[in-house]
Amino acid sequence: MASRADFHTHSTFSDGRLTPTGLIDLAHRNGVRIMSLTDHDIVDGLSEAFQAAARYPDFTLVPGIEMSTDVEGGEVHILGHFIDWQDDAFRERLGELQESRLGRARKMVDRLHELGMPVTWERVEFFAGEGAVGRPHIALALVEAGHVATVNEAFDRFLSRTGPAYVERDKLTPQQVIAIIAGVGGFATLAHPREFGAPQGFEPLLDELASAGLTGMEVYYQDYSPDDVAALRRLADRLGLISLGGSDYHGLGGPRQREPGDIPLIMEPVERLLDLAKSRGVLGRAKGPAALR
């Protein structure tokens, strides 16, 4: 069943397979009427995305980003919605993160050579295209070179956090990223909480993040079961966090892939986010009818 809202998607400007235009066309076809483009550590796709969204009078686009952070033993992704994506200092900071991603990807390519699984930097660059480079681009080069059969296998054998070719990124804490997002007037949401790698789980961290200014938590996500959703929803409610979610669509396939609109995001929390945006005077950063109510 198609739902109307999706607050987590990726395009070619990070590690998604579709251009912002292709992504919005697919989302609209799937019945999505309010969507956020949330590329990894980059906002450069938003300008095309707003142009594409303008072709659909019944479609609202919320400017967004997904930022990677590190904590002891794990990785935490934070979504930012309703950000002032054109802010100069913000874009400069994102430029630094992209530089750091480049250096880190080159090191991972070196590691793969040492491991006897060579891929060329040119192919990684090709898969990364115009946007921020990430591990999925290296995974695609590994598949192309025939070292692995799938992107998932590339992660399982080489690129996961504990894999032999893994190299760390520039480290930012979740608190720093929450502050960066708040600094451009956006709302920070903890992404896919169950994907957090640390053995103790994310719950001990959640109180800290809530006090640091977190607004929401992803509750509706990919293959989360009804029980997962119910448990996450209770946790979000207890901490006063808005229960958001989305497909995290990348278009790279795999068993967990869901298309935009496949995640049954209920509208009540979405309305809460929109009300909050309205009360902070940032609703107009979204383009489309729902933002104009």
**Which residues of the chain form contacts with ligand AMP (CB under 6 A)?**
15, 40, 68, 134-136, 151-152, 155, 160, 250
Burial degree of 98 (CB within 10 A; 0-12, 13-18, 19+)? middle
Single out the residue of 277, 190, 174 nearest to residue 235, CA to CA.
Answer: 190
Which entry of Fe ion, Zn ion, ligand AMP, none binds 155, CB below 5 to 8 A by partner kind?
A: ligand AMP
Q: How far is the CB of 126 from ligand AMP (least distance, A)?
A: 16
Stretch of residues binding Fe ion (CB under 5 A), selected from 46-54, 66-74, 99-107, 202-210: 66-74
**Using CA atoms, how far apart are residues 84 and 105, in angstroms rounded to an integer?**
28
Is 81 a binder of Fe ion (CB under 5 A)? no
Q: How far is the CB of 252 from Zn ion (least distance, A)?
A: 9
Which entry of ligand AMP, Fe ion, Zn ion, none binds 160, CB below 5 to 8 A by partner kind?
A: ligand AMP
CB closer to Zn ion, 39 vs 48: 39
Q: How far is the CB of 125 from ligand AMP (least distance, A)?
A: 14
Q: How far is the CB of 66 from ligand AMP (least distance, A)?
A: 7
Angle between helices 174-183 and 203-211 (to 10 degrees): 30
**Which tokens hold the place of 8?**
């987590």
Which of 59, 248, 260, 262 is in the footprint of Fe ion by CB under 5 A?
Answer: 248
CB closer to Zn ion, 87 vs 195: 195
Q: Is 148 helix (H, G, I), strand (E, B) or coil?
A: coil
Q: How far is the CB of 94 from ligand AMP (least distance, A)?
A: 13
Place of tokens 């692995």: 148
CB closer to ligand AMP, 239 vs 252: 252
3-state DSSP of 5-28:
EECCECCCCCCCCCCHHHHHHHHH
Residues near Zn ion (CB under 5 A) are: 15
* E-assigned strand segments in 19-165: 34-37, 60-71, 74-81
Which entry of ligand AMP, Fe ion, Zn ion, none binds 151, CB below 5 to 8 A by partner kind?
A: ligand AMP
CB closer to ligand AMP, 111 vs 250: 250
**Using CA atoms, how far apart are residues 153 and 6, in angstroms rounded to an integer?**
28
Is 77 a binder of Fe ion (CB under 5 A)? yes
Backbone phi, then psi, for 212, in 5-degree steps? -75, -5
